[in-house]
Structure 1
Amino acid sequence: MTDLLGTPGGDAPAVTVGDETLSRRELFGRAAAVAAEIAGAEAVAVHADASAATIAAVVGGLLAGVPVVPLPPDSGPAERAHILGDSGAALLLATRADAPADGPPLVPLDDLPSAAVPAAAPAPDATALILYTSGTTGAPKGVLVSRSAIAAGLDALAAAWDWTGGDVLVHGLPLFHVHGLVLGVLGALRVGSPVIHTGWPRPDAYAEAAGRGGTLFFGVPTVWSRLAADPGAAAALRGARLLVSGSAPLPVPVFERVAELTGHRPVERYGMTETLITVSARADGPRRPGRVGTPLPGVRTRLAAEDGTPVPHDGETPGELHVQAPTLFDGYLNRPDATAAAFTADGWFRTGDIAAVEPDGTHRIVGRASTDLIKSGGYRIGAGEIEDALLAHPGVREAAVIGTPHDDLGEQVTAFVVADGASAGELTEFVASRLSVHKRPRAVHLVDSLPRNAMGKVVKSRLR
């Protein structure tokens, strides 16, 4: 089995989660036992907690050619029932302690013996994963991701980041998303680099893993923000090779502080569940705060205005980002209407994200079209630019900006800010002094915290 995950043999450590370490031989042996149990199933769900058992279960599904449905371990009964029912998962892979009372039949992961790895590999266009979206605009949709899409995406990132078997990857991200599972586990297995999963993405855990040889570190902005506030832990990462941030925009002040403390300018990248990673800074190229780099090999992007006309790549004018790439998904499960609506008439995927592209191809993500493009008094304003301006204030720890209804302007710029010792009026004037006056917040709400999901993204619908 070498088409997606590399060779199964070898006794060197491959995966470490908490206190458990598996070699490639041990991991693939356990996975092969899973594959034997689930052979022929239409799809299987995996209780995707941070454990070696989860990794063996996912690899087992890939060995068997059975689509894997990662199930968030903290999903509530309604979400779990929707994912299990919608996906058609015939079996649930979990330890006996983690198995819910309801749901499909259990394949317990506690006592499976080692087995021989199947000789035949599934077809490249076979569905590898069914990943469920966050459901911010309705019930979560199942995203069909093929083996070939995953392979293309991982190979492009390996080239962009100089990622090889000589690296040791460290992260503590959830194993039911693209970032933690596809990049953080399947990517490591494909390139042959050991992975240390810290269990939780804490600065002290990252520092400890650095002492165990970690060279490549993945994190969401919340991780890097916490590391920036812990100089001792940050200093431990000076011996790393590369720090990578994703899943949400990295605030400019956090970027600069991490660079100061660690000696590394973080690599930022952009992607979606439906596209995998399509745009990234390079290990050997410029890494600029607020920018996510240029398209990966094989990826084409364009910007479109609301009427579908092209938007110039001038670095300033925002437009909806459209993508064509070998990493694109194969559609939404059982949702042909939603699949058709996600593509333009000429075959480009509509990301729903607003971006600006500079003449050299560097991309800056402004935010979601539904929440981060504010139309105020005839102006089109990106929320991300205002958030960056607020975060430049020394008293601001977190900031989120949305458009709220306004009788005269249509929408007004409204900010929610976690700050120490800064007044609403002071913050409004601070933004007006750095940006165009029409971009200043007309309402500033000082709050104790911002609502975030498991990946650290602010859930702006809850701000409304």
Structure 2
Amino acid sequence: MRKNNNFGFQMSGSSALPLPVMQQWETITGHRLLERYGMTEFVMAISNPISGKRKGGTVGKPFAGVQAKILLDDESSNDKTGVGELCIKSPSLFKEYWKLPEVTKQSFTDDGYFKTGDTVTVDEDGYYIILGRTNADIMKFGGYKLSALEIEAVLLEHQAISECCVLGLPDKDYGEVVCAIVVPEAEVKRRRDEELKPALTLHELSDWAKEKLAPYKIPTRLFLWESLPRNAMGKVNKKELKRKLADDPK
């Protein structure tokens, strides 16, 4: 998150911002963060307005001159309101990956849109909502596609949760099950430790979440960790975590 003192706005980027975090920031600072969306391949493409309605939980609308479309699962059709992979065409779009012609070919649609690898939808006002990285944040439970980011945003409302990471773990019956890795709030953990109890149990979490999430979105596995492993950009590598937990679920 960066504050631009010259233009008087505070911006959030790099990864999707959970709505509870945005609300906390606004409560503390009195400013609503400007959330935007971009990638190295095309710099910035979508943004909430600097002056105008900034909608929490969205990254706004495409800039002038930027074209965006949603590629549906069958890859033979696209839509501007459904759920699928976000594709971008922009004056700032790069030409190719250096010495990787096959990767470049796979990264573009036949009509020249770049496939971002992010699953999105659009709300009633045309604001884009990032549901997560298709290969890391989108879980398949039975016949449902679930957004880990959506579930994380809800779990962060729980008073005992400081940080959390939601991912899908392999399951022979449902394809994947929803797993939550939680870093407890320090004071809650201290108090529960004195009572010789875990900071949060799966039963407590499920009972609390049933009023906020559909039954198939409620985590069925829970891990309490001291911290979440993050890279230099502050991001959690969910693919690596999934491999680790699948191999060693302890």
Alignment-mate amino acid for residue 334 of structure 1: K
Task: Tell me the equivalent position of 2:136.
Answer: 371
Determine the C-alpha separation between the residues in 2 that align with 1:457 and 1:426. 27
CA contact (8 A) 1:386 1:431 kept: no
**Structure with more of its chain in helix, by fraction:** 1
The within-5 A match list for 1:121-140 is none
Q: Give yes or no for contact 1:404–1:414 (8 Å, CA) kept in 2.
A: yes
- Does the 8 A contact of 1:390 with 1:430 survive in 2? no
Deviation at 1:312, TM superposition (A): 5.2
Give distance in 1, aligned partners of 2:43 and 2:208: 37
Q: CA deviation at 1:431?
A: 2.7
Deviations for 1:89-148, whole angstroms, at most 9, x for unmatched residues?
Answer: xxxxxxxxxxxxxxxxxxxxxxxxxxxxxxxxxxxxxxxxxxxxxxxxxxxxxxxxxxxx
Deviation at 1:455, TM superposition (A): 1.6
Q: Does 1:461 align with 2:229?
A: no
Q: SS where residue 210 of structure 2 aligns? A: helix
Which residue is 2:246 aligned to? none
2:176 pairs with 1:414: no
TM-score (norm 2): 0.86
Given that 2:117 and 2:134 are in contact with CA atoms closer than 8 Å, whether structure 1 keeps it comes out as: yes
Unaligned runs of 5+ in 2: 186-198, 243-250
Distance apart, 1:349 and its partner CA:
0.7
Matches within 5 A, 1:371-390: 371-390=136-155
1:430 and 1:388 map into 2 onto residues whose CA distance is 14
* Other-structure match for 2:163: 398
Aligned letter for 2:181?
F
Question: After the TM superposition, which segments of 4 or more aligned residues of structure 1 sit over 6 Å from their partners?
Answer: none
User: CA, structure 1 residues 336+451, in 2 after alignment: closer, same or farther (shift >3 Å)?
Assistant: same
Cα distance, 1:247–1:413 mapped onto 2, change above 3 Å: same
Residue 263 of structure 1 aligns with an amino acid whose one-letter code is G
Q: In structure 1, how many angstroms separate the alpha carbons of the residues matched to 2:226 and 2:109?
A: 41
Task: Name the SS for the 1:244 alignment partner.
Answer: strand
Give the conservation status (yes or no) of the 8 Å contact 1:415–1:443. yes
Q: Is the 8 A contact 2:156 2:162 kept in 1?
A: yes
Which among 238, 244, 247 is matched to residue 14 of structure 2? Answer: 247
* Secondary structure of residue in 2 paired with 1:405: strand
Task: Give yes or no for the alignment of 1:435 onto 2:221.
Answer: no
Query: What is aligned with 1:445?
Result: 223
Equivalent in 35, 43, 67 of residue 300 of structure 1? 67
What do residues 407-463 of structure 1 show as CA deviations (whole Å, max 9, x unaligned)? 110111111111233323222333332121111111111111112122212111231
In 2: Cα distance, 1:414 partner to 1:370 partner: 16
Cα distance in 1, alignment partners of residues 104 and 208 from structure 2:
43
Contact map agreement 1:451 1:462 (CA 8 A) in 2 = no
Amino acid across the alignment from 1:425: H
Q: Distance in 2 between matches of 1:246 and 1:444?
A: 28
Q: CA deviation at 1:372?
A: 1.0
Q: Give the residue type in structure 1 aligned to 2:49.
A: R
Distance 2:113 2:181 in 1: 34
Per-residue CA shift, 1:267-286, capped at 9, x if unaligned? Answer: 00011111211111111111
How far apart in 1 are the matches of 2:152 and 2:116? Answer: 21
* Structure with greater strand percent: 2
Tell me the distance in 1 between the aligned counterparts of 2:140 and 2:48: 30
Matches within 5 A, 1:202-213: none
- Is 1:310 aligned to residue 75 of structure 2? no
Name the % identity.
Answer: 40
Aligned pair partner of 2:118 in 353, 358, 369: 353
Structure 2 contact 48–61 (Cα < 8 Å) conserved: yes
- The corresponding residue for 1:424 is 202
Greater relative contact order: 1 or 2 (C-alpha under 8 angstroms, separation 6 or more)? 2
**2:106 aligned with 1:341:** yes
Q: Higher Cα Rg: structure 1 or 2?
A: 1
For 2:9 and 2:160, locate their aligned partners in 1 and report how far apart those are by CA, in whole Å: 29
The structure 2 residue matched to 1:259, chosen from 18, 23, 26, is 26
1:133-166 residue CA offsets vs partner (Å, 9 max, x unmatched)? xxxxxxxxxxxxxxxxxxxxxxxxxxxxxxxxxx
Matches within 5 A, 1:51-130: none
Q: Which consecutive residues of structure 1, in runs of 5 or more, have no partner in the other structure? A: 1-169, 172-205, 217-240
Secondary structure at 2:209 match in 1: helix
Are the counterparts in 2 of residues 374 and 380 from structure 1 also a CA contact under 8 Å? yes
CA–CA distance in 2 between the matches of 1:261 and 1:254? 11
Q: For residues 336 and 445 of structure 1, do their structure 2 counterparts lie closer, same or farther at Cα, with a shift above 3 Å needed? A: same
Superposition deviation, residue 331 in structure 1: 0.9
Counterpart CA distance in 1 for 2:141 and 2:46 is 29
Q: Secondary structure of the residue that 1:433 maps to in structure 2?
A: coil
Deviation at 1:337, TM superposition (A): 0.6
Aligned residues, how many?
Answer: 228
Structure-1 separation of matches of 2:6 and 2:112? 39
> AA paired with 1:442?
T
In the alignment, the residues of structure 1 paired with residue 112 and residue 231 of structure 2 have an alpha-carbon distance, to the nearest angstrom, of 31
In structure 1, distance between residues paired with 2:23 and 2:212: 18
